[in-house]
Amino acid sequence: MPPERVTFRRAWPADAETIARTVGLGMETWHAFAPAGWTPRAHRQGVGFAREALSATSAWAVLAFVDGEPAGHFAMTAGDWDEPLAAELKSLFVRPRWFGTGLADRLHEAFVEAARERGYPWAWLSTPAGNARARRFYERREWRADTLVETHRGMPWVSYGRSLLPPAAASRQNPAVDARVGSRP
């Protein structure tokens, strides 16, 4: 068997359908920890949500394909709260078939690189509080949980933040950025 060929390209609003399909497949796995009665977002709603996110001026998203088949993506925008210099990792999903293959790590690395290139010193993301797999994945990659827990449609969500500065610069030049973890209003 020839090795699988992994390719990446920028995602556009026209890719909303593919992204919503990947998100839908990922959300199906959340039944393992979701509160009783929780259901994944409807596909049509997911397409609208993805199209809107990808249309933001600050949006940057990348699709991954394995042998030409959509396999995952990340999507980021500028954070829209009180920290204009924070990137928000809005979505990092790989299709369940590619869990544990290292594809998510490559997408995560691509996110960090893209956010650094755009000059963001800090990043935020949210994930369901019960999403132990994702939380482990992020915590292994320098993300630290905030104290804030918010409930959406019955699901508790936790926020994570991390510095995007190189480690030496983060401790030498900008200790206040690191100190923000745990203090997001």
Ligand X SMILES: CC(C)(COP(=O)(O)OP(=O)(O)OC[C@H]1O[C@@H](n2cnc3c(N)ncnc32)[C@H](O)[C@@H]1OP(=O)(O)O)[C@@H](O)C(=O)NCCC(=O)NCCS
Which parts of this chain interact with ligand X (CB under 6 A)? 26, 29, 92-94, 99-100, 104-105, 127, 131-134, 136-137, 140
Question: What order of strands is seen across the sheet that includes strand 144-152?
Answer: 6-10, 60-66, 69-78, 86-94, 122-128, 155-163, 144-152
Pick the closer one to ligand X by CB: 56 or 155.
155
The residue (of 10 and 140) whose beta carbon lies closer to ligand X is 140
- CB of 165: closest distance to ligand X in angstroms? 23
CB of 175 to ligand X, least distance (A): 28
The DSSP result for 48-63, as a single string, is HHHHHHHHSTT-EEEE
Sign of CA dihedral 82, 151, 142, 103: negative
Nearer to ligand X, 120 or 138 (CB): 138
Least distance CB 41 / ligand X (angstroms): 12
As measured in angstroms, the least distance from the Cβ of 33 to ligand X is 8
∠ CA 93-50-149, rounded to 5°: 65
The residue among 140 and 172 lying less far from ligand X, judged by its C-beta, is: 140
Provide φ and ψ at 33, rounded to 5°: -130, -5
Pairing mode, strands 144-152 and 155-163: antiparallel
